[in-house]
Structure 1
Amino acid sequence: MSLIPKETVDQILAQADITEVVGDFVSLKKKGQNMWACCPFHHEKSPSFSVSPAKGIYKCFGCGKAGNSVQFIMDVEGTSFPEALKYLAKKYGIEVPEDNPTPEYAKEQSERDSLFIVSDFANKHFQERLHKHDHGSIGQSYLKQRGLSGNTIRKFELGYSLDEWTDLTDTALKAGYQQKYLEATGLTIVKEEGKKFDRFRGRVMFPIHNVSGRVIGFGARTLKSNDKKSPKYLNSPESDIYHKSNVLYGLYQAKQALRMQDMCYMVEGYLDVLSLHQGGIENVVASSGTSLTEGQIKLIARYTQNITVLYDGDAAGIKASLRGIDLILENGLNVDVVTFPEGEDPDSYIQKVGDTAFKTYLKEHAQDFISFKTSLYAAEAKGNPVRKAEAIREVVTSIAKIPDSIKRTVFFRSCSLIFDIDEQVLISEYNKMQLQERQQPKTGSPELDQMHFPEEVEPEKPASDTDVLVRYEREIVRMLLNYPDRMLEEGMTTCQYMLEQLEDVEFRTPLYSRFMELIKEKLCDSVVPTAEDFINYPDQEIRTEATNLLSDPHELSHNWETHSIFVPTELDLLPYGAERAVLRLKWRNVELLMKTEMEKLRLVTDPQEQDRQLNTILMLKTLHSQLGDMLGIVVNR
């Protein structure tokens, strides 16, 4: 691992605001003291992802993901700990000096960074060719012809590749960039005989950015109208930094608007994004001609749960893309559809009618996807009973993708009216589909699998001795993390009380034993341990569990205070709670000791040793009974 100096790490952790960091990826809404959102790591219908500004942590009570700002970047971007620190350092303008990276990490990081660096070089090269080279006027003329302003061209960093075989390759090699990285990013193509040439030639260049704003690939449009051999659009191939199924064109420029507007407009092409963005509709992204993927849908879901798909007027194209919409429904997002007059696409139509009229058109013509699909198929099947039956099944298939049962019910009713068919028939067809799906290997949504046909629940097994002990040890550590310096009585903090009471108790769960050791180390240095010590601890297991222990899914409503109703909190009852937690752990440990000693007794044959063993067991039984009495536990004697 790369060694970033501790003082720099501390500076990053101090400045990284959890709300700002998470807010770059999901739309947070305040509820009580915390901020809430639908989790960016798994599909859910109602928010269970909590961010605590006061504690500097996030926690999903659905999938269990938890941590601080650094861990969030690691989870959401799939990066290492040092890479996440660098991301935050860049965000907050902190310089990161590095010391002694290991050879393995240095090599791996160098390879990946080299791909980003070469892509950035190519991006600047294409921009330079567009704005400063004599032949750049060819690209500029095309972009102006498409109605794009200088501001839009600069904001999206558009460029131009000269119509020459090796312009980029020669320039990059001369500047010291290695050929293997040019080849790895797909910028240079190398033939078996060693001949090399540029992938992009004579094209307007559209750089593709990741969510962080780094260039990871390119889309390119040819300007040769008479060239039938070359494709009109050409994209970078897949690489270690570019995976097209997890990328949306324009997302980097749109992410703030997606959160603010709580809506994502989905279009097909680069120019659709550019024209709409220029027209004031900045919450727009494109799938860049690829079929919509689950990875792309999850990207959108970080910022909003609402998608409006803008279709060209081509009916065949609409039918071909309907499957992608089913995937959006399956992920629980709300989908509207807008179609344009025949022969028009979003780019051409906004150029034709202007920004204001275009926005009005979107508002007036948006309809939910199920109603749109139902009307589309009903019109095609009119007068043909066989096609009508096929159309109904097609629509029911889409409705079945919706996880929300209330939404499904509403759409079944709407569909029954349009098709003029009994609603119960549609529901029966849906249940048949669900039954067939259950009889096959599960490939769909687990929520749908369980919705109408719940599995038989096995009787809950009683908790083992070990499970109970883990729970009691966990409770001790939880209280120490949440209330270490709280006074239980004059001159006695929670930390002092618990460690004094448990001085002779050995924690048996390795993770909680480590927590106790770390707490004791802090106190030996005359420092009271804080939550931040563990949230920001280098070991991920400690960080994750600390976040779990500091997270609470429930908050007391302020309405109780408004109505003058006093409800005691855990803090109000802390002396009682701390005492009970200590007694419970002691009681369980004594119980386990008794079982151990009884097992030993069975193996003892010497009468004197048997007497000693029996005395030990009787003493433990007495202690166990006393602790049980203090806890109000009835113990069989």
Structure 2
Amino acid sequence: MARIPKETVDQIIHHADIVEVVGDFVSLKRKGQNMWACCPFHHEKSPSFSVAPAKGLYKCFGCGKAGGVVQFIMDIEGTSYVEALKYLAKKYGIDVEEEEKTPEQQLAQNEKDSQYIVSSWAKDHYHRLLLNTDEGQGIGLSYLRQRGLNQTTIKTFELGYSLDQWDDLLKSATAAGFERKYLEKTGLVITKEDDQGQDTGRRYDRFRGRVMFPIHNVSGRVIGFGARTLKPNDKTAKYLNSPESEIYHKSDVLYGLYQGRQAIRTEELCYLVEGYLDVLSLHQGGIKNVVASSGTSLTDGQIRLIKRYTDNVTVLYDGDAAGIRASLRGIDMLLEGGLNVRVVLFPDGDDPDSYIRKVGDQRFKDHLENASQDFIQFKTDLVSREAAQDPVKKAEAIREVLQSISKVPDPIKRQVFLQQTSQAFSIDEQVLISEYNKLVRNASGKAAGGASGSSSGVGAGGQQKAHSPQTTPNAAPRPMSPEEEAEALMYGASPEDLMGGGGDLLTITKEDLEPVPDVLEQCEREIVRLLLLYSPQPLAPDISVAQYLLQQLDTPFKTGVYADLLHLCQEEMNQGRWPEVRTLIQHGRSDIRALVAELATEKYELSPNWTTHQIYVPRELDLLQTACDNAILRFNKVNVERALAEHMEALRRPMDEAALDEHLTNIRLLKQMDNQLASLLGTVIPRAAM
């Protein structure tokens, strides 16, 4: 495998701004010195994902993901260290010189990278066919022109065309050196099977005679294709998509997000449409903050993608009543995901693509602004019209609206929606609240499999209230299960230790049973932390924190990762550089990167209001001499205690008089050292208190 020279790696890391890179994937907001967002790696509704620009690292306090700018690309893209560096190099226009590799060597890097490579090649192949062949120009390009798409849009979205031949792509890819198995894994080529499911040895292109819409992930890599047939009276599906693969999961992809993510963040709004051409026409018309679910039902993964960039979604409907009805569940999911949802309808059965071509860009934008309405209000109007004067239908309509309101996580928004619904249906608000609570309780009961459990409802005035399961006072203690006894004994406790004075079982959490962290390891950790955070800070006119700590260390570290990190800090010093988080967070070893991120990240910052109110709170930076002294003293004391314990243990074994005297002498010396260290640390217990 080719290597990237260290000089190039250093250049990439130097230029890569972590706020800029992370900002391509999530919408960051400043709070104090750091930037915050909802984590892109797990589902959450309040931000726990932090980016520290000064340190060049990110950390999620929810799921624990952490690292530098290279690690972020590795995590978000699921790619290798080298591929992450290449991504950043491309972003910042840095040339990466590698040894020339044959297509076979490229494919051999790993399965996923091979699928990315062959998908990118196929995208370029289809694009060339669209622009440079008679069939591509006469059929594919002609169709795109008829739909009003210009050359810029075609290039931006890298549209293409597949020849109406059985195996054009297969032959071309094979000639270029690509292995068939990757063509099959990405779904570009299909293997013909007989009636018994056996491979007949015949293979052919999945896409033939179709306009090709490459599907990109959020970093711009091609992961699949959508394809529209242009044959009249074709019995096959009008649209055909790539099958699921290792790199393409349609439930986690939104068409147009790569091209529109910056506009979504800037506008703080995402327009959600259904088809590829809707995205293309709106993007060309200057509405770039648009994405499509590509004809699939909206999924949780797609909703989380939108929420990375904005909390506001406007769904664009084509006005067909049956289509709107089928989409209501998807909008309920948007509400449940914590998004603010609005709706725009188009007249005369138009869809977004046809309407913008009919009325032009400006009138279309005016329509988006004037016709936009809140989804709850929209649904209320829709179902109330359907109910007309039928009381039974009206009651069902109210329940449908309440069902959507129950998906809204914000209690204040729920209260407002309940008031609006009360007015819209001319029904007493308290009756509405009572029915709402009944729906919530029923939903909670079903979710718990019929068992009683906690649920949330709305009290008078729409206030949230909790329903807790009843507990029986003075209930007999439940016996410990064999698993609990085994777990307790594993951590050094007996079943009797777990019982209270009256024989009741004490409440024991998993944290209570966790083994106590190794004290020496904690001491080593603290020294490394101080080195990372404060190396250049002066303790005296001629000595820095790094110099002081490294000079004081006489005993080698025992814990592997801390010893390795200490060695890296020493190497940086030997090279005339201070150990820095920005540098070490990019290390090739994942455990080093994770440790540096963990040590350098603080969840909380001191509020500036303390200074405003003239309340002085000492910072660690102001107490560095004390922090360094204590770290070294504790480290030395733990090592002395360990040596003392080893000599005490040796006394249990048979030995001659000379060996015994040696151990006793060492014990006396070590005990004196231990007392001196305890005195310096202020941990000696006065005799009067004993």
Name the TM-score class by shorter chain.
Answer: 0.7 to 0.9
State which of 534, 549, 559 in structure 2 corresponds to 1:483: 534
**Aligned equivalent of 1:15:** 15
Q: Is the 8 A contact 2:418 2:432 kept in 1?
A: no
Measured at CA, do residues 291 and 422 of structure 1 come closer, stay the same or move farther in structure 2, by a change above 3 Å? Answer: closer
Q: Is the 8 A contact 2:332 2:404 kept in 1?
A: yes
Offset from partner CA, 1:369-399 (integer Å, 9 cap, x none) = 3443444445445655655565555545544
- Verify: 1:437 aligned to 2:443, yes or no: no
Using the TM superposition, name which of 262-271 and 512-521 deviates more.
Answer: 512-521
The letter of the residue matching 2:554 is E
How far has the Cα of 1:553 moved from its partner?
2.6
**Aligned equivalent of 1:6:** 6
Offset from partner CA, 1:323-345 (integer Å, 9 cap, x none) = 33333334333332223335121
Kindly report which structure 2 residues correspond to 1:472-551, keeping only aligned pairs within 5 A, or say none: 472-504=523-555, 507-523=557-573, 528-551=578-601
**Aligned equivalent of 2:517:** 466
State which of 238, 241, 244 in structure 2 corresponds to 1:235: 241
**Aligned equivalent of 2:483:** none
Q: Is the 8 A contact 1:183 1:190 kept in 2?
A: yes
Offset from partner CA, 1:561-606 (integer Å, 9 cap, x none) = 6676654432122222222333444455556666666666777899
Q: Whole-Å Cα distance in 1 between the matches of residues 620 and 25 of structure 2?
A: 33
Q: Is the 8 A contact 2:28 2:35 kept in 1?
A: yes
Measured at CA, do residues 522 and 350 of structure 1 come closer, stay the same or move farther in structure 2, by a change above 3 Å? Answer: closer
How far has the Cα of 1:514 moved from its partner?
3.0
Q: Whole-Å Cα distance in 2 between the matches of residues 83 and 206 of structure 1?
A: 25
Q: Is the 8 A contact 2:215 2:226 kept in 1?
A: yes
Unaligned runs of 5+ in 2: 194-199, 456-463, 472-506
User: Across the two proteins, how many residue pairs are aligned to each other?
Assistant: 630
How far has the Cα of 1:543 moved from its partner?
0.8
Q: Is the 8 A contact 2:104 2:178 kept in 1?
A: no
How far has the Cα of 1:312 moved from its partner?
2.1
How far has the Cα of 1:415 moved from its partner?
4.3
Measured at CA, do residues 156 and 500 of structure 1 come closer, stay the same or move farther in structure 2, by a change above 3 Å? Answer: closer
How far has the Cα of 1:74 moved from its partner?
0.2
Q: Is the 8 A contact 1:266 1:307 kept in 2?
A: yes
Measured at CA, do residues 312 and 593 of structure 1 come closer, stay the same or move farther in structure 2, by a change above 3 Å? Answer: farther
Q: Secondary structure at the match of 1:96?
A: coil
Using the TM superposition, name which of 252-261 and 48-57 deviates more.
Answer: 48-57
Q: Whole-Å Cα distance in 2 between the matches of residues 599 and 223 of structure 1?
A: 85
Q: Secondary structure at the match of 2:161?
A: strand
Measured at CA, do residues 275 and 588 of structure 1 come closer, stay the same or move farther in structure 2, by a change above 3 Å? Answer: same
Q: Is the 8 A contact 2:57 2:582 kept in 1?
A: no
Unaligned runs of 5+ in 1: none
TM-score, normalised with respect to structure 1: 0.85
Q: Is the 8 A contact 2:68 2:582 kept in 1?
A: no
**Aligned equivalent of 2:330:** 324
The letter of the residue matching 1:84 is A
Measured at CA, do residues 236 and 629 of structure 1 come closer, stay the same or move farther in structure 2, by a change above 3 Å? Answer: same
**Aligned equivalent of 1:189:** 190
Q: Secondary structure at the match of 1:90?
A: helix
Q: Whole-Å Cα distance in 2 between the matches of residues 369 and 598 of structure 1?
A: 75
Measured at CA, do residues 114 and 561 of structure 1 come closer, stay the same or move farther in structure 2, by a change above 3 Å? Answer: same
Measured at CA, do residues 427 and 342 of structure 1 come closer, stay the same or move farther in structure 2, by a change above 3 Å? Answer: farther
Q: Secondary structure at the match of 2:228?
A: strand
Alignment root-mean-square deviation, CA: 4.0
The letter of the residue matching 1:54 is A
Offset from partner CA, 1:387-427 (integer Å, 9 cap, x none) = 55655555455444444444444444444554533324413
The letter of the residue matching 2:143 is Y
Q: Whole-Å Cα distance in 2 between the matches of residues 632 and 279 of structure 1?
A: 72
Q: Is the 8 A contact 1:185 1:239 kept in 2?
A: yes
Q: Is the 8 A contact 1:266 1:308 kept in 2?
A: yes
**Aligned equivalent of 1:147:** 148
The letter of the residue matching 1:93 is G
- Verify: 1:552 aligned to 2:602, yes or no: yes
State which of 609, 613, 623 in structure 2 corresponds to 1:573: 623
How far has the Cα of 1:79 moved from its partner?
0.4
**Aligned equivalent of 1:204:** 211
State which of 240, 253, 269 in structure 1 corresponds to 2:259: 253
Offset from partner CA, 1:274-321 (integer Å, 9 cap, x none) = 111111110101111111223322322332232222122122222222
How far has the Cα of 1:535 moved from its partner?
1.2
- Verify: 1:350 aligned to 2:356, yes or no: yes
Q: Is the 8 A contact 1:212 1:252 kept in 2?
A: yes
Kindly report which structure 2 residues correspond to 1:544-623, keeping only aligned pairs within 5 A, or say none: 544-558=594-608, 567-587=617-637
Offset from partner CA, 1:217-252 (integer Å, 9 cap, x none) = 22222223423x121111222334333222221122
State which of 418, 427, 431 in structure 1 corresponds to 2:437: 427
Q: Whole-Å Cα distance in 2 between the matches of residues 392 and 603 of structure 1?
A: 83
State which of 211, 226, 235 in structure 1 corresponds to 2:233: 226
**Aligned equivalent of 1:363:** 369
Q: Is the 8 A contact 2:273 2:317 kept in 1?
A: yes
Q: Is the 8 A contact 1:590 1:620 kept in 2?
A: yes
Q: Whole-Å Cα distance in 2 between the matches of residues 156 and 521 of structure 1?
A: 47
Tell me the percent identity.
58
**Aligned equivalent of 2:276:** 270
Q: Whole-Å Cα distance in 2 between the matches of residues 451 and 42 of structure 1?
A: 28
Q: Whole-Å Cα distance in 2 between the matches of residues 325 and 406 of structure 1?
A: 19
Q: Is the 8 A contact 2:318 2:352 kept in 1?
A: yes
Q: Is the 8 A contact 1:263 1:308 kept in 2?
A: yes
Q: Is the 8 A contact 2:161 2:212 kept in 1?
A: yes
**Aligned equivalent of 2:343:** 337
The letter of the residue matching 1:267 is V
Q: Is the 8 A contact 1:265 1:308 kept in 2?
A: yes
Measured at CA, do residues 547 and 175 of structure 1 come closer, stay the same or move farther in structure 2, by a change above 3 Å? Answer: closer
